[in-house]
Amino acid sequence: MKAFEQRTRQSQVKTCVDQALQRAETEPADVDLLRALAGQQTCARRLTVAVVADRQQESDRLVPQPARREPKRERRRSVEPLKIVNRYYHPGEPYQVLLTEADDQALGRLARLIPRDVVTANVPANGSAFLYAFHNRPVLFESLLLDPDPDHALIGEHLREAATRPDVCDALRREGVVLSGPVELAALVDEEEHGLGIRRFVAHREIADRENGSGGAYAACVVAEPTDLQTIIAARGDAYLDIVVHGSAAHSGRPDDGRNAIYGAAAVIASLQRWHEELTHAAHPLVGPPTWSVGLVAGGQGVSTVPAVCRIGADRRLLPGESAAQVLAELRDRVAELGLERQGLRVEVAMSMDMPGFETPSDHPVVVGTDAALRAAGGPRLPLGGWTAACDGGFVARDLGVPTVVLGPGSVNDQAHRADESVGVAELVVAARAYALTALRLLG
């Protein structure tokens, strides 16, 4: 292995590929070509195979030669292996060693996740065949040198298009390829008020995980909110703050005999507006700054009476990772600094709802897989983004530790919360395909 731990210059590999390509027409199963193409890294974070083409003896020793399963159909030599390998060949990417330590660890993790009776639909031009060689997990392509039957060829060429190709899905079923886990739909209520549905869902899931010792049942969470078919990897959280100012009633003819609660509330509202302006300097690169917005004011009994009580309802948008409890403590401190007690007023501050924000790294496999599935399903190819709104995904990310993205048809700004709230059928179809393909790629 020591000889293979040294990187080979990309130009040497390219020369080998170019020479082999010239012989491809007369030698369609050319071993050097297959070995050279196998040496290219197919994409970031995939297992890669690198074989030095001029080291025939060591290559034969290191490339796994698993026993073939009994074929379902008669196999014949053809140009299909070259066609499939070329589909996943990306010239110009680094030439790597046969199997890195990280690759070996990834294979071990996959083996623990994939049941022994599940066939993995693997890419023929990378090192995923080692899943069969090292861990005895069946794969469609056990070796680059194995000629595929029609189903194998179809899957190898068009697996990326499974969301729009029923014939690919049929071929996968015939070959025994199934999802490595279930896909669960959680249709929850009260998302825009107190989050009763998601809180109950998370609480039950945490109990089930403890009882089963599963340590987390979900590989990913895709929240179906209107994002204009953009993959959202960060969202703000939200908190509802209730502020009640207590004074004392009096006749409006002698207002100084009372303590006007609305005046006290006005001072609190002005403080919140100043705080909102201060927060503009703390913007998150994807979701923007935290914000304050007063959405409800209620006080007084009549024009001729000094109001004894005034209630304020304020919305505070949270950055990913920001603590709602800390915001509550800071609000109480700011209200205390107003000195309303010296005016004979008393203020109560409470938080009636909090919803955490979240952020998933842009290079996380769930993000990469979901966005790639969206593009393959015909999405608009928008960059990864953030969401100024809040959603149930924050609970899943924070409480269950599940990597989360938000993705769906429609616009939260242009179509949500309107009398004619709707989404286009074409967008809905793209989203459905993206969800299906995401599940296939994450659990396939």
State if pTM tops 0.75: no
Decide which of 22 and 139 is more confident. 139
141 pLDDT more than 50: yes
CA distances (Å), origin 21, targets 10, 35, 38, 157: 16, 12, 14, 19
Q: Would you list the domain boundaries of the chain?
A: 2-174, 196-234+359-443, 239-356
What average pLDDT does this structure show over 316-341? 96
In this prediction, residue 418 carries a pLDDT of 82
C-alpha–C-alpha distance, residues 259 and 248, integer Å: 5
**Tokens read off for 378:** 């015909």
Over pLDDT 70: what percentage of the chain? 72
273 pLDDT more than 80: yes
C-alpha–C-alpha distance, residues 200 and 25, integer Å: 63
Task: Please choose, from the candidates 410, 440, 399, the residue with its C-alpha nearest in 3D space to the C-alpha of residue 203.
Answer: 399
- Does residue 5 sit in helix, strand or coil? helix
Q: Are 231 and 405 in contact (CB under 8 A)?
A: yes
Residue 224: band (very low, low, confident or very high) from pLDDT cuts 50, 70, 90: very high
Radius of gyration of the chain (CA): 30
14 pLDDT more than 60: no
Q: DSSP string of 358-376? A: EE--TTSHHHHHHHHHHHH
C-alpha–C-alpha distance, residues 312 and 365, integer Å: 43
- 261-278 helix and 324-337 helix, angle to the nearest 10 degrees: 120
156 pLDDT more than 90: no
- In the chain, the largest separation of any two C-alpha atoms, in whole Å, equals 106
- What's the N-to-C CA distance of the chain in angstroms? 31
What average pLDDT does this structure show over 158-162? 73
What average pLDDT does this structure show over 376-401? 93
What average pLDDT does this structure show over 215-243? 92
Long-range contacts: 292-299, Cβ < 8 Å, 24+?
292/316, 293/317, 294/269, 297/265, 297/269, 299/245, 299/261, 299/262, 299/265
Task: Please choose, from the candidates 132, 10, 130, the residue with its C-alpha nearest in 3D space to the C-alpha of residue 68.
Answer: 132
In this prediction, residue 106 carries a pLDDT of 79
Task: Please choose, from the candidates 95, 86, 168, 162, the residue with its C-alpha nearest in 3D space to the C-alpha of residue 125.
Answer: 86
407: left (phi over 0), alpha (psi -120 to 50) or beta: beta
32-72 pLDDT, tens digit each: 333 333 333 332 222 222 222 222 333 333 333 333 344 44
Residue 281: band (very low, low, confident or very high) from pLDDT cuts 50, 70, 90: very high
* Class of the CATH domain delimited by 196-234+359-443: alpha beta
Residue 392: band (very low, low, confident or very high) from pLDDT cuts 50, 70, 90: very high
Q: Give the start-end residues of each E strand in 283-323.
A: 291-299, 305-306, 309-318
What average pLDDT does this structure show over 183-190? 90
Bridge partners, residue 411, by sequence: 227
Q: Which fold has domain 239-356?
A: Alpha-Beta Plaits (3.30.70)
Question: For the chain, what is the mean pLDDT?
Answer: 77
- 10-23 helix and 31-38 helix, angle to the nearest 10 degrees: 150
